[in-house]
Amino acid sequence: MTVLPVLRMGHPVLLSVAEPVGLPIGPEIRELAQDMVETMHAEEGIGIAAPQVGRSLRLIVVLPLSERGSQPEVAPLIIVDPELEPLGEQVEEATEGCLSIPGLRGEVPRFVRVRWSGRDLDGAAIGGEAQGLFARVLQHEVDHLDGILYPMRMDNLRSLAFVDAMPPDPEENEP
């Protein structure tokens, strides 16, 4: 496994709509997925999308966390060709960061609950419902597949700030 370089905001791949992986899922996609897991861990992230490592493919890796600082319920979830559907209209703002926009955070509105689906690396259909932080991470990573970075979702750019200039938040455990 390899730690891959993470592209930064401004790179054209991050602003493009990613291509579906489709079936069958070949060994190069399996290797990419494992490299993405390794990269996510090395960067201390809780999710990563293929465009962030320079591959314009609909592939994400997420930690299914219930809250910041908690341990994942299972190993990192690898989702090929993910799709999301909001469950209800409830939206909540919370602070987000991004491996492609290091050092910045901002308040981003997201659906509180979503239904997700896709395929695993064996090509089997997978899916479920997510809420809270897990739903937020899924929406953030799927946005990457559509060429959307979190500042594009922000209602108020006044909350966009450098981490080292923000007052400490006793609730937040993630860098």
Residue 7 counted as domain residue:
no
Q: Is residue 34 part of a domain?
A: yes
Q: Could you tell me if residue 6 is inside a domain?
A: no
- 92, 141, 171, 174: the catalytic one is 141
Q: What are phi and psi of 89, to 5 degrees?
A: -110, 0
Q: How far apart are CA 133 and CA 150, in angstroms?
A: 15
* 78-114 pLDDT per residue, tens: 999 999 999 999 999 999 999 999 999 999 999 999 9
Range of the domain at 97: 12-165
Overall number of domains in the chain? 1
Whole-structure pTM value: 0.91
* 141 has catalytic annotation: yes
What are the Cα distances from residue 99, in Å, to 10, 21, 73, 116, 120? 13, 23, 22, 22, 23
Q: pLDDT tens digits, residue range 32-76?
A: 999 999 999 999 999 999 999 999 999 999 998 866 665 655 689
Residue 173 lies in a domain: no
Q: Rounded to an integer, what distance in angstroms lies between the CA atom of residue 149 and that of residue 128?
A: 24
| Residue 156, in any domain of the structure | yes
CATH number of the domain at 146, please: 3.90.45.10
